[in-house]
Amino acid sequence: MSTITERPQEQLSPVIPKTMQAVVCYGPEDYRLETVEVPTPGPEEILTKVELCGICMGDIKTYRGAPSFWGDAEQPRYVKPPMIPGHEFVCRVVALGPGAEKRGVKVGDRVISEQIVPCWGCRFCNHGQYWMCQKHDLYGFQNNVQGAMAQYMIFTKEGIVHKVPDSIAPDEAILIEPLACSLHAAERANVDFDDVVVVAGAGTLGLGIIGAVRMRNPKKLIVLDMKPERAALALRMGADEVWNPAEVDVLTKIRAITDGYGCDIYIEATGHHKAVNQGLAMLRKLGRFVEFSVFNDEATVDWSIIGDRKELDVLGSHLGPYMYPRAIDFIGNRKIDMRDVVTHTFALADFKEAFAVMERGDKSLKVVLEP
């Protein structure tokens, strides 16, 4: 009797359909589930099958028509519909365009691409600051870099691709992108051993920041969040205490544990404009404010607090540059334990319900779509 030896899965040529299901954005609250053509990879491009796609609050704000994405009298429109949303994803390589083998991946590899697609020709890209690329394409926000709310997606030739070990569970692998962003925010904060750090917001990104700050061993790590169910995860990530600003006077409490001075570092990760003034009040003189969120509403502050009264350092934090390898390592080896952060999984066809659950945030953290 002869025996047949199966080839390893990664060596098989997958059958790629001609069409696929995708969520297509045409405008604010005009998102449609459609049947579209499966894209064909061009030179140096990679065609991938989407394993999971995460929903970010930036996706929700885009869906609702926030001016920071759709523009207004003060700022140009950033999104370019029609487009397939989705910038948080983990995928599997199914086909390589001509010359794409030089990118170090093969059919069958599990992969992720950084959410920004740099132009590699502007001032910032030429100085290694690719995350601030002047053109600034992001998967899922422009129609030349379609996102992952679909069964298949293209990693463009400019994209930065990383392999993802098969040993990482899907509901943890999908958190690589948000954790990379969180690690960048923690690095911007430059936490020292003697610092009292306040992290405002214990959502997906805030939890990653908490885990990253804990690795730097501050003197005290306080987390602020108004959803009591998030406290247990914040404590597991490394918070010393979790305070609910709706129930306690957080300004009085922070002064009580800092001899009246205030915290050394405040990281804003709520996306609510009121948290900005809260942070300016909680910081000591010569403190450090790290702004991480994208807001629906304009945040108005008294700039004399920043200058004349406290001489604060105010730092922004954008995306996760150079952090993807670390995020993959930290998740894979549970240096930062991201289990239980994904709370809901929906089919692609149920994207509107998934958006609603993410927006409400009621006993939910990360909501994902499974195409």
**The pLDDT value given to residue 131:** 98
Please state the pTM of the whole predicted model: 0.93
- SS3 for 44-83 is CCEEEEEEEEEECHHHHHHHHCCHHHHCCCCCCCCCECCE
Q: What confidence tens digit (pLDDT) does each residue in 30-50 have? A: 999 999 999 999 999 999 999
Q: How many CB atoms lie within 10 A of CB 78?
A: 16
Nearest to 274 by CA among 285, 282, 265: 282
| pLDDT of 297 higher than 80 | no
What per-residue confidence (pLDDT) applies to 9? 43
Residues 205, 115 contacting (CB under 8 angstroms): no
User: Nearest-5° angle of CA 245, CA 250, CA 256?
Assistant: 160
Coil, strand or helix at 10: helix
Exposed, middle or buried: residue 224 (CB in 10 Å: 0-12, 13-18, 19+)? buried
Q: How many CB atoms lie within 10 A of CB 242?
A: 20
| 95 or 68, greater pLDDT | 95
Give percent of the chain above pLDDT 70.
96
pLDDT in tens, 144-195: 999 999 999 999 999 999 999 999 999 999 999 999 999 999 999 999 999 9
Contacts of 45 (CB under 8 A, 6+ apart): 96, 97, 100, 154, 155, 156, 157
Sequence-distant (≥ 6) Cβ neighbours of residue 261 within 8 angstroms: 255, 284, 285
Q: Which tens digits make up the pLDDT trace of 5-19?
A: 333 444 556 899 999
Mean pLDDT rounded to a whole number for the chain: 94
Identify the bridge partners of residue 315 per DSSP, sorted by sequence position.
Answer: 290
Cα dist from 358 to 60, 226, 303, 362, 368, whole Å: 8, 16, 33, 8, 9
